Chains A and B, each alone.
Chain A
């Protein structure tokens, strides 16, 4: 079984500042992938970044980086230089690597960027 925990229901950040969204996970699968998705009020899940459990380096995608600490089972998302358009729900998720395994989501963090 897989479990994702996001302990921050809501976060505020000043425009142009960096923010870290926390995510911890639990799984018995030896190989897995960790994802972050952004969900604006429109509802669509937008893929942001992916980290494989065996990747040696932390993933980065533009202003997004994933702080992966395998021993602590954490996969925090760092957004640098926040923009007003970053205001949205953010979901941490994971899936086993083998086969077409389902994606397990956390409860999400609502990020609001303040001008």
Chain B
């Protein structure tokens, strides 16, 4: 049984570009959350999706947007990239209380 999968593993972009990160939840999980983890910091909550709708949002600008598909997979989109967006982006999925994290996508903005 595959856990949470994320793609791509690594990504390099330049300032001003747009990026899309993808996440497939653990089989049977219907809720997906996205986190940003800057170097040397703990993960920070970006937003959460359930039934294809954004249920909760952290303190992130509108440049960060997302989507959840009918098969529960999810995308994180970041527009107008800034140097400060360089981080590890973690996706987590849940059915009830237990959150399972994926391996993350490491985004570097030059």
Contact = CB atoms under 8 A, between A and B. Distances in A.
B64 to A, nearest CB: 14
Contacts of B42: 4, 91, 93, 105-108
Interface residues of B, number: 26
Interface size, A (range): 20 to 34
B104 to A, nearest CB: 4
Contacts of B97: 33, 95, 97
Contacts of B104: 43-44
A102 B58 contact: yes
Contacts of B56: 100-102
B101 A107 contact: no
A100 B99 CA distance: 10
Contacts of A60: none
Main secondary structure of the interface of B (DSSP, over half): strand
Nearest to A35: B99
Interface string A26-49: 000000010101000011111100
B103 A44 contact: yes
B101 A44 contact: yes
A4 B31 CA distance: 23
Interface string B30-42: 0101010000011
A92 to B, nearest CB: 9
A104 B45 contact: yes
B33 A44 contact: no
B98 interface: yes
A103 interface: yes
Interface of A: 4, 33, 35, 37, 42-47, 50, 91, 93, 95, 97, 100-108
Interface of B: 31, 33, 35, 41-45, 48, 50, 55-56, 58, 88, 90, 92, 94, 97-104, 106
6 contacts: A33-B97, A95-B97, A100-B55, A102-B33, A102-B56, A105-B43
